[in-house]
Amino acid sequence: MRLILLGPPGAGKGTQASRLVEKHGIPQLSTGDMLRAAVKAGTPVGLKAKAVMEAGGLVSDEIVVGIIADRFDEPDAKKGFILDGFPRTVAQAEALDKMLAQKGLKLDGIIELKVDEAALLARIKNRADETIKAGGTVRADDNPDAFKVRLDAYRAQTAPVSAYYAGKGALKQVDGMLPIDAVTKAIDAALGG
């Protein structure tokens, strides 16, 4: 199964993706996680991405498309994947279409988590509090200033990705304001049970 999870920052994509990983036995491909790992490791990609990520902006299409292309070639991605945080621009969605077409592959589901924007900042604050409670390190971009930039980037560059897939008749929308378990059920239903 090959899936895409769309939705603004704080919509719950990561939470739902980990549940889909368990249910379907396919990996979660989060470009955000991959970029954070690259920043931590100080790789050339990480060095390029660090400042823009901390400010809440988008890393270049070229970098993220390259990361995803490499990740698709790893053995665990052969049986399917859940894309979380990619594609984030229409150019990335077009690059993804090309990559899949070259491999003779198709997407099985594109799910958008619809959330009330007013609730998102509170969710991000909650995520930061939970991380601190668990003894972890809060993401450098989980703060009100960077969050505003992330939301602006979402509106300007990522919302058109939903329209791109909706135009192809491929988009399924799920109410992301429901409790976590109910969102999981709604996603299962959207994928045909």
> Which residues are annotated as catalytic?
13, 88, 127, 139, 150
CA 155 to chain centre: 15
C-alpha distances in angstroms, 189 versus 44, 121, 171, 174, 192? 41, 28, 14, 10, 5
Secondary structure of 155-169 in the HEC alphabet? HHHHHHHHHHHHHCC
Q: Which one of 48-56, 93-101, 127-135, 160-168 is the stretch in contact with ligand AMP (CB under 6 A)? A: 48-56
> Which residue's beta carbon is nearest to the bound ligand AMP?
32
The answer to the question of residue 154 lying near ligand AMP (CB under 6 A) is no
The answer to the question of residue 109 lying near ligand AMP (CB under 6 A) is no
Compute and round to an integer the Cα radius of gyration of the chain.
Answer: 16
Q: 99 near 159, Cβ under 8 Å?
A: no
Amino acid at position 186, single letter: A
Q: Among positive and negative, which fits the CA dihedral 79, 183, 86, 140?
A: negative
Among 4, 35, 39, 186, binds ligand AMP (CB under 6 A): 35
How far is the C-alpha of 158 from the C-alpha of 11, rounded, in Å?
A: 13
Among 2, 20, 111, 141, binds ligand AMP (CB under 6 A): 141
The answer to the question of residue 88 lying near ligand AMP (CB under 6 A) is yes
Closer to ligand AMP by Cβ: residue 32 or 109 = 32
Closer to ligand AMP by Cβ: residue 26 or 35 = 35
Least distance CB 179 / ligand AMP (angstroms): 22
Least distance CB 193 / ligand AMP (angstroms): 28
The footprint of ligand AMP (CB under 6 A) covers 9, 31-32, 35, 52-53, 56-59, 64, 85-86, 88, 92, 141, 150
